[in-house]
Amino acid sequence: MNKHQSRAVEKIQKDFSAGAEEIKDEITLFLSPDTFIPAIKLLRDQYGFDMLILETAVDYWPQLEPRFHLVCRLWSMAENDILGVRVPLKGNFPSLPTLTVLYPAASWFEREVWDMFGIKFEGHPDPRRLIMPYDWEGHPLRKDYPLGYEEPQFTFNFEKVAAHKPHPKE
Partner 1 sequence: MGIVTTKLEDLVNWSRTRSMWPMLFGLACCAIEMMSAQASSYDLSRFGMELMRASPRQSDLMIVAGRVSRKMAPVLRQLYDQMPDPKWVIAMGDCASCGGVFNNYAILQGVDEIVPVDVYVAGCPPRPEGLIHAIISLQEKVKGEKLNRWS
Distance CA 169, CA 47 (A): 61
Could you give the dihedral angle defined by the CA atoms of residues 42, 45, 51 and 56, in that order, rounded to the nearest 10 degrees?
A: 20
Residue 136 touches partner 1, criterion: CB under 8 A = yes
Interface residue with partner 1 among 23, 63, 152, 163 (CB under 8 A) is 152
In this structure, the number of other CB atoms found within 10 A of the CB of residue 29 comes to: 24
Q: Which stretch binds partner 1 (CB under 8 A): 21-29, 31-39, 96-104, 127-135?
A: 127-135
Q: Tell me, by CB under 8 A, how many residues bind partner 1.
A: 18
Distance CA 45, CA 50 (A): 8
Q: Which stretch binds partner 1 (CB under 8 A): 13-21, 28-36, 100-108, 129-137?
A: 129-137
Residue 149 touches partner 1, criterion: CB under 8 A = yes
Least Å from the CB of residue 145 to partner 1: 8
Distance CA 86, CA 65 (A): 14
Q: Which residues are bridge partners to 83 per DSSP? A: 74
Write out the residues near partner 1 by the rule CB under 8 A: 131-133, 136, 140, 145-150, 152-153, 165-168, 170
